[in-house]
């Protein structure tokens, strides 16, 4: 029963990781940039929600509504001002740029909010603490179900948009061949800016759920980035449903690791990631990304 | 009448190598221009520079009287300038239909829609749902031309129309082109196959080592004269005697 419980909790945790990972996957899929500031942008979004929620005495779910458009705009501006320039000077520059951006965001948050640990859990009431008890040893937390549902809705909407709308077709065309996309009239830089906007908004959404689920502080970003990155690699680069699968595999690995011994939780996740990386599929991915 | 496309003293480089050296040419509305020359003569670079996907080092490009030298490629498409790139360059993971639709989204208003394109190229109809990557070379070339037409271009630039295609596929692609030409399309065709190029073109421009070495109305030039310019056989005689009548305005 203990194991079943671990798997169930792992699936819910995986929903959160998938939500973190989908923006990372989108930016990588469309622009071939690994956004090292993704986790920090998520934490910045969580702080944004925290500020609105505490100042205006709102539920974090309501506070998300004004924060998400701001994060969309921030992502769009971020691409137009910083990423577009760095993209022009080769594949290494964007990596360094986002690394620098991560440090800037962390220190700015530290300056404004101090290193104190915050949580949004206390502001959401029974949503973050309640659960359905199925048996004496198995319970299903409200928040876990909510996060998994939001993850499925966000990833599903993203997948549908990419596959079935004109907006998504332009994004896929630009991802496959930006030069030829320009030759059929698609402004690649606008498509890139939109992808960044969506990615930053989903990061903020994920950061907010992290903040409700547990705690966060200005230095929480890099850990979440690593989990998101692992979820993306386990699920297969550039695949939306694969990202959900990867997040869930990572979540289950961590909760099973924790069941064996609490200190193995994170380690178990890393081990699964390394196994995937060493498998034939991981070697295939490495070979594919090495050839432009 | 002003030419629709006017290129003046265009220079384009790969690093230190000048691939296009002070090329000037013009294309009038309804004209079919064949651009011929050996490998490495700079034809593809010239077309890519005109389409806006290769940087201009020097010189100007005017389209319908507007200077577009520094305009990004997607704005040139919106103005009515489309390129079918060398190697077709369909979006491989998208279906043929999606390839057409992606070009239609920001197209100029005009006669070409998915329906009219399929009427003009009926061979594409059964392929609509297939990923572009699984098409044969000839099918890809037709789809690439159809995709470019979806933007309703006023000038269509076609790079290496028959390169790498089976003879039967070349024939079918040229049948499609003949149809376009009969309807009054303005085309610039880069072609290795001299016979094919001369059969469709009103005017022929031959490039050698980045320069235009021959520019003439197709009727006024023989295949032998073009071949000579093509391989640079008459270069010694032209530099010594400028009286060679077959060599048009040398730039």
In a domain, A148, yes or no: yes
DSSP bridge partners of A131: A141
In a domain, A185, yes or no: yes
Each residue's pLDDT tens digit, A201-211 = 999 999 999 99
In a domain, A195, yes or no: yes
Closest CB from A176, A184, A187 relative to B103? A184
Each residue's pLDDT tens digit, B7-27 = 999 999 998 899 999 999 999
Grade residue A257 by pLDDT with cuts at 50, 70 and 90: very high
Distance from first CA to last CA of chain A, Å, rounded? Answer: 48
Whether A29 has its CB under 8 Å from any CB of chain B: the answer is no
Using CA atoms, how far apart are residues B106 and B95, in angstroms rounded to an integer?
19
Each residue's pLDDT tens digit, B104-135 = 998 889 889 999 999 888 889 999 999 999 99
Whether B133 has its CB under 8 Å from any CB of chain A: the answer is no
Each residue's pLDDT tens digit, A141-168 = 999 999 999 999 999 999 999 999 999 9
Give yes or no for a contact between A118 and A215, defined as CB atoms under 8 angstroms apart: yes
Using CA atoms, how far apart are residues A157 and A65, in angstroms rounded to an integer?
18
Give residue A110's domain range: 2-286
Phi and psi of B158, rounded to 5°? Answer: -120, 115
Grade residue A287 by pLDDT with cuts at 50, 70 and 90: low
Give yes or no for a contact between A49 and A63, defined as CB atoms under 8 angstroms apart: yes
The number of CA neighbours under 13 Å toward the Cβ of A39 is 21
CATH number at residue A59: 1.10.3470
Identify all chain B residues contacting A179, using CB atoms and an 8 Å cutoff. 53, 73, 89
Matching residue, tokens 């959401």 = A124
| pLDDT at res. B246 | 43
| pLDDT at res. B239 | 41
In a domain, A292, yes or no: no
In a domain, A155, yes or no: yes
In a domain, A291, yes or no: no
Q: Write out the two tokens for B99.
A: 């390839």
Matching residue, tokens 């303005």 = B186
Give yes or no for a contact between B103 and B45, defined as CB atoms under 8 angstroms apart: no
Phi-psi sector, B38: left (phi>0), alpha (psi -120 to 50), beta:
beta
As for how many domains chain A has, the answer is 1
Closest CB from B53, B91, B92 relative to A182? B53
Phi and psi of B242, rounded to 5°? Answer: -80, 10
Whether B114 has its CB under 8 Å from any CB of chain A: the answer is no
| pLDDT at res. A90 | 84
Identify all chain A residues contacting B101, using CB atoms and an 8 Å cutoff. 166, 169
Compute the count of residue pairs across chains A and B with CB atoms less than 8 Å apart.
Answer: 69
> Residues near A255 by Cβ (< 8 Å), separated by ≥ 6?
A6, A7, A9, A10, A13, A265
Each residue's pLDDT tens digit, B54-66 = 999 999 999 999 9
In a domain, A214, yes or no: yes
Using CA atoms, how far apart are residues A60 and A150, in angstroms rounded to an integer?
15
């Amino acid at each position: 029963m203990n194991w079943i419980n671990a798997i169930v909790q792992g699936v819910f945790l995986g929903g959160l990781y998938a939500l973190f990972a989908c923006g990372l996957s989108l930016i990588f899929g469309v622009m071939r940039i690994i956004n090292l500031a993704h986790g920090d942008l998520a934490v910045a979004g969580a702080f944004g929600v925290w500020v609105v929620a505490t100042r205006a005495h709102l539920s974090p779910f309501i506070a998300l509504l004004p924060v998400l458009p701001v994060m969309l705009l921030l992502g769009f501006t971020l691409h137009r001002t910083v990423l577009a320039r760095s993209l022009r000077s080769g594949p290494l520059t964007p990596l360094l740029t986002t690394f620098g951006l991560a440090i800037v965001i962390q220190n700015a948050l530290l300056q404004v909010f101090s290193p104190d640990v915050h949580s949004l859990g206390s502001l959401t009431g029974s949503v973050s603490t309640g659960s359905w008890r199925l048996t004496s040893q198995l319970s299903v937390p409200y928040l876990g179900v909510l996060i998994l549902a939001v993850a499925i809705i966000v990833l599903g909407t993203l997948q549908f948009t990419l596959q079935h709308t004109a907006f998504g077709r332009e994004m896929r065309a630009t991802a496959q061949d930006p030069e030829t996309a320009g030759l059929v009239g698609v402004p690649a830089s606008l498509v890139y800016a939109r992808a960044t906007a969506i990615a930053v908004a989903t990061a903020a959404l994920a950061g907010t759920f992290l903040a409700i689920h547990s705690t966060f502080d200005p230095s929480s970003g890099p850990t979440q980035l690593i989990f998101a990155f692992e979820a993306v690699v386990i699920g297969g680069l550039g695949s939306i449903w694969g990202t959900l699968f990867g997040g869930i595999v990572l979540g289950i690995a961590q909760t099973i690791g924790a069941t064996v011994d609490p200190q193995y939780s994170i380690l178990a996740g890393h081990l699964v990631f390394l196994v995937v990386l060493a498998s034939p599929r991981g070697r295939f991915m490495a070979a594919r990304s090495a050839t432009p | 009448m002003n030419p629709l496309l006017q290129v003046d003293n265009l220079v384009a480089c790969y690093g230190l190598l000048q691939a296009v050296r002070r090329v000037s040419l013009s294309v009038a509305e309804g004209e079919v221009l064949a651009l011929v020359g050996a490998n490495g003569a700079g034809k593809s670079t010239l077309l890519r520079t005109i389409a806006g996907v290769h940087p201009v080092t020097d010189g100007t490009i005017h389209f319908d009287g507007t200077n577009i030298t520094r305009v990004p490629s997607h704005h040139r498409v919106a103005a009515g300038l489309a390129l079918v790139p060398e190697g077709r360059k369909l979006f491989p993971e998208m279906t043929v239909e999606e390839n057409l639709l992606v070009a239609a989204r920001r197209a100029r208003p005009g006669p070409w829609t998915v329906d009219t394109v399929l009427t003009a190229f009926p061979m594409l109809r059964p392929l609509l749902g297939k990923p572009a990557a699984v098409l044969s070379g000839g099918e890809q070339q037709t789809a690439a031309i159809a995709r470019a037409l979806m933007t309703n271009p006023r000038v269509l630039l076609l790079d290496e129309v028959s390169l790498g295609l089976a003879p039967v596929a070349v024939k079918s692609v040229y049948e499609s082109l003949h149809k376009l030409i009969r309807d009054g399309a303005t085309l610039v065709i880069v072609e290795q196959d001299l016979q094919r190029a001369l059969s469709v073109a009103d005017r022929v421009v031959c490039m050698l080592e980045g320069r235009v070495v021959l520019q003439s109305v197709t009727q006024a030039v023989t295949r032998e004269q073009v071949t000579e310019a093509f391989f640079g056989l008459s270069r010694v005689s032209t530099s010594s005697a400028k009286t060679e009548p077959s060599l048009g305005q040398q730039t």
